[in-house]
Amino acid sequence: MRNPLAALSADDRALLRRRLRTPVLTFLALLALLAVNVTLGATLPFAQVWIVELLVVAVMVALILLVSMEVIHEPPLIRLFSGLGFFWVAIMVGMTLTDYLAR
């Protein structure tokens, strides 16, 4: 077994750096986006801030799906399935709002 970190060979350390690069960068990006939303939520700078907040959330969701869950590396079928649920949520919300926004 190859732990702890200090005992790693130079090759292994390079391998580790290469393999963990994407997860760590994703992690940092998610934290940064969350910081934006928390700041906006805490300060409420203007009335329509919820639009910005939802956009930030959309970016976070896309990051998790595409990078953390590796959808970009998957075959088309999995990509289709990863988007299908969101499309159906849009149908559900959209058709329900034809009622509630027109009452």
Partner 1 sequence: MSASGSIGGTARREPHTPESTIGRKPDYLHAESTLRSWFLATDHKRIAILYLASITGFFVIGALAAGVVRLALIVPNGAIMTNDTYNKAFTIHGVVMVWFFLIPSIPATFGNFLIPLMIGARDLAFPKLNLTSWYVFMAGALFTLVSVVLGGVDTGWTFYAPLSTAFSNTWVLPALIGVTIVGFSSILTGLNFVVTIHTMRAPGMTWFKLPIFVWTHYATSLIFLLATPVITTALILLIAERAFHIGVFDPAYGGDPVLFQHLFWFYSHPAVYIMVLPGMGVISEIVPAFAQKKLFGYRFVAYASIGLASVTFFVWGHHMFVNGQSDLASLVFSALSFAVAVPSAVKVYNWTATIHKGSLRLDTPMLYAMGYIGLFVLGGLTGLYLATLAINQHIHATYFVVAHFHYIMVGGTVLAFLGGLHFWWPKFTGRMYSEPWGRISALLIFLGFNVTFFPQFILGYLGMPRRYATYPAEFQLLNVLSSAGATILAAGYIFPMLYLVYSLWFGRKAPANPWNAKGLEWETASPPPTHNFLSPPEVPRVPYDYPIQAQEARDQHG
Partner 2 sequence: MSEPLAQGVGVARAEHFESVAQQRQAATLGIWAWLITELLLFSALFLVALITRIQHPEATVAAAKHLKFWIGATNTVVLICSSLTMSMAIEFSRMGWQRAMVRAMLATAALGGLFLVLKGYEYYADWDEHMMPFLSHRPFALAETPAARLFVNLYYVATLLHALHLFTGIGLLLGMTWMAAKAGFLARHQNWIEVYGLYWHFIDLVWILAFPILYVVNR
Residues at the interface with partner 1 (CB under 8 A): 77, 84-85, 88, 91-92, 95-96, 98-103
Amino acid at 26: T
Cα–chain center distance at 9: 33
Q: Which does 98 bind (CB under 5 to 8 A by kind): partner 2, partner 1, none?
A: partner 1
Counting beta carbons within 10 angstroms of the beta carbon of residue 65, is it exposed (0 to 12), middle (13 to 18) or buried (19 or more)? middle
Q: How far is the CB of 50 from partner 2 (least distance, A)?
A: 4
By a kind-dependent CB cut-off of 5 to 8 A, residue 95 interacts, out of partner 1, partner 2, none, with partner 1
Q: Which of 10, 24, 45, 47 lies at the binding interface for partner 2 (CB under 8 A)?
A: 24
Cβ-contact 71, 78 below 8 angstroms = yes
